[in-house]
Structure 1
Amino acid sequence: MQVSEAMTRDVTIANVEESIAQAAQLMARLDAGALPVSDNNRLVGMITDRDIAIRAVARGKGPETKVRDVMTDDISYCFADQQIDEVTRNMSDAQVRRLPVLDRDKQLVGILSLGDIAVATADGVAGQALTGISRPGGMHSQTG
């Protein structure tokens, strides 16, 4: 099965210049824990509720802090035409629960989450990925 068959296509994007308050409100409205971040229509990062909590709130940064200041800019992604099995192994190795999905022109076309994989497959692939993601991995990327 290809990523395109399981991914969520309707993706809302945060902008690097938005405040973390705006990003958090958007996440709340969407009931989502992460948003891709763009700068001039180019994917440049991801911002998660954890980024906001750890990189902003825990460090005393206010709600006006820009998304660019707390987002994760070293992001992993996958392609819509990749196989789910390959991508879930990569998710496990990278210890991530969701990936932006790009087409071969490197345009954002969706998001793939473990939930998407669990719904689309019945072979336990999502559980295997979650096992790898959940293993203790030392310092998390959000602390950097």
Structure 2
Amino acid sequence: MEESETSMEVRSLTGESIVVSILPNKTIQELKQLLKKTFPPASISPNFHLFHKGVKLGLESRISDHSVGSGEFLVLVPYTKKDRNRTRKLRYLQLHLSQLMISVNYDVGVFSYFVFLKVMVYPHTTDTLS
């Protein structure tokens, strides 16, 4: 016996919507692939999450796991992927900056540590060190 397709509405943040039909045993990943082919907001922003009632749907979960009732809809929310190399560099710099601050505190003394904070970390403050 063949399963019948489930129809569900998907809306974008811009107000566009589409009703798609898909088999209940398909995954959310397969639904996203279908949307990329048939729904302009999904093809313009190929990186997106799907939400139902404020809960992000997992890629490996099945359509049948989510009971999208009559009058309910999924929301397509685009996102930008992080640049992993930039993130690694920032973590590296944060780690070394914190180590430098600790070494300044121990090697030179508390006064120099505050000068370092004034010059390097909080240069936008206008008050002077006394």
Same fold by TM-score, threshold 0.5 exceeded?
no
> Please, what TM-score do these two structures have when normalized by structure 2?
0.28
> Please, what TM-score do these two structures have when normalized by structure 1?
0.26
Between 1 and 2, higher relative CO (CA 8 Å, sep ≥ 6) is seen in 1
